[in-house]
Amino acid sequence: MATITVTTPTVGGSVTPTPTTCTAADKFAATGGKYILYYKNGAGGALTTAYALNTQAAPAGTFPAAGSGGTNWADLRLSNGIPISTDAVCVIPDVAPYVDATQFVNLKHTGLTGTPTVAVIGPL
């Protein structure tokens, strides 16, 4: 599990994101607000799905169950696949439902090949 450094923008300034190599389970510190995740796959990297994990327990009889690759009924699917040599931008409009008890947003990446990277920008 990698802890991703969050790049915080300032009014009127530009940002230089800090990419971190994706692992199956990564996290970044957050308390609230909107965050942008910038994924970059090189010539040999690919990613099947990316999720922000929700910590809420599913109510009894919840339907539908967790999405393919997810772990919880309320996980946020950020991407349904980022192919080789492709960049992708994903947005978490409000991270509050995904912040765990230790003030981190946990990400789950499946189908990793090569070394895709992710940079997190926020809060906006």
Q: What is the pLDDT of residues 1-55, one digit of tens each?
A: 889 999 998 888 888 888 999 999 999 999 889 999 999 988 777 888 898 988 7
The string over 8-25, giving b where at least 16 C-beta atoms fall within 10 Å of a residue's C-beta and e elsewhere, is eeeeeeeeebebbebeee
Confidence of residue 64 (pLDDT cuts 50, 70, 90): low
Phi, psi of 80 (to 5 degrees): -105, 30
Phi, psi of 12 (to 5 degrees): 80, 0
Query: Cis (ω within 30 of 0) for the bond into 64?
Result: yes
Please check whether residue 68 is in contact with residue 106, taking contact to mean a CB–CB distance below 8 angstroms.
Answer: no
